Amino acid sequence: MKNYKVDLHIHLGQAKERPVKITASRKLTLEGILSQENPTGPLGKGKYLRKGLDIVGVVDCITVGAREEIKKLISLGIIDNKYPGGGLRYGDKLTLLLGAEIETREKNGSAHWVAFFRGLEEIEIFADYLYRYIKNPYLSTQVCELKARQLAKFTLSLGGLFFPAHIFTPHKGVLGNCTAILSEIIDDDVVAVELGLSADTGMANRLTDLSKRTFLSNSDAHSLQNIGREFTIFSLNNPSFDDLSSAIKKQGVQKVTANIGLNPELGKYHRTYCHTCKRPVKTPPPTYHCPICKGTNITFGVADRLEEIADLSDTSLKLPNKVIVSEHPPYIYNIPLEFIPGVGKKIKTKLIEAFGSELSVLHEVPYNKISVVVGQKIANNILAARRGQIEIKAGGGGYYGKIDSTAKF
């Protein structure tokens, strides 16, 4: 058994020189996702972007361009589609899982869902099926005429994985936008949920309906630099689809050992946001109007929505840099380097070149080694972020929270 770092929500900005995810960077290509993990490989450089992930899930693989590119990389021998246990293998360092993000319209709103499959054959079957119910097979996250239950049933019939994306967000999160009870929309055979950037395990554990489901942390990356800003650590025999699926379903000894993600206050939708005053509210959640202008031109926050629908009190143990809940593994805060005061692009590049990956710098490299490379002040900031000894101005309304650069670390 070995621990593997897994990010199961990465988008494509383009494929075959055509847009895929409209809101994603055009630099976010399939080759970019692979090469940034192995800069000495056949696909290029991307050295400073190395994240240290072991398994990546791309959620736009049903699009026409993405499948064409995947087939080309297989034919060139760059990725192997015959990896034992499923998944596509890039060299000896990275497993690529093929997935799709789909939007459904439920009774009270719209929601995003993610489906993953064992290999190319299964996702081709799923794509052919889905094309009957979406309008544009070239673009990602299309609105589907089917309901989530129907999508889940077909996905599971192919041996796939199916889970709701960013469940609490006000835009397309099933609990943020559609219902207060997940089981009203999907059945218990959907065994996992994606927490999203503005929530952690302690928050999600306040809903009885989620207590038995596996919590996943994923980046929902729309750019190369955001790959791995949230990820899940799995204890697996091998980095394959089958082993990952067993862990998510809690079958056997393979399991999730930790969720690594943003402090929820750094998320873009953590608190209710007033668009008139252009700031998140600071009153206790739930807040339905701005306490300053008294207006209702707001985006409702994740923390506010959770306070509205939670049926349990917060019983998590909150430590400086993590949350531990008895029913789930610990949630460890991951503060991306670009959020840390004093770390710009040049410093980030310097750190990753020195220590191999961003995740190593954030969680593993000793203080004295970091200070030798970038000096004591920045090393102090990185260590404070690692220990949770930071002050945060909460995000909301589509704007990330910020570390208070005036605070003393």
What was the pLDDT predicted at 52? 80
Contacts 24+ apart (CB under 8 A), 340-345: 340/378, 340/381, 340/382, 340/385, 340/403, 341/381, 341/403, 341/405, 342/377, 342/378, 342/381, 343/378, 343/381, 343/382, 345/48
**One digit per residue, pLDDT tens: the chain, 409 residues?**
999 999 999 999 999 999 999 999 998 999 889 876 444 444 544 343 467 899 999 999 999 999 999 999 999 999 999 999 999 999 888 999 999 999 999 989 999 999 999 999 999 999 999 999 999 999 999 999 999 999 999 999 999 999 999 999 999 999 999 999 999 999 999 999 999 999 999 999 999 999 999 999 999 999 988 999 999 999 999 999 999 999 999 999 999 999 999 999 999 999 999 999 999 999 999 999 999 999 999 999 999 999 999 999 988 998 989 999 988 999 999 898 989 999 998 999 899 889 988 888 998 999 999 999 999 999 999 999 988 888 899 999 999 999 876 545 4
Boundaries of every domain in the chain: 2-265
What was the pLDDT predicted at 369? 96
What was the pLDDT predicted at 36? 60
How buried is residue 74: exposed, middle or buried, by Cβ count under 10 Å (0-12/13-18/19+)? middle
Q: What predicted TM-score, i.e. pTM, was given to this entire model?
A: 0.93
Give the CATH class of 2-265: alpha beta
What was the pLDDT predicted at 50? 67
What was the pLDDT predicted at 154? 98
Q: Which amino acid is at 397?
A: G
Say if CB 220 and CB 11 are below 8 A apart. Answer: yes
What was the pLDDT predicted at 327? 82
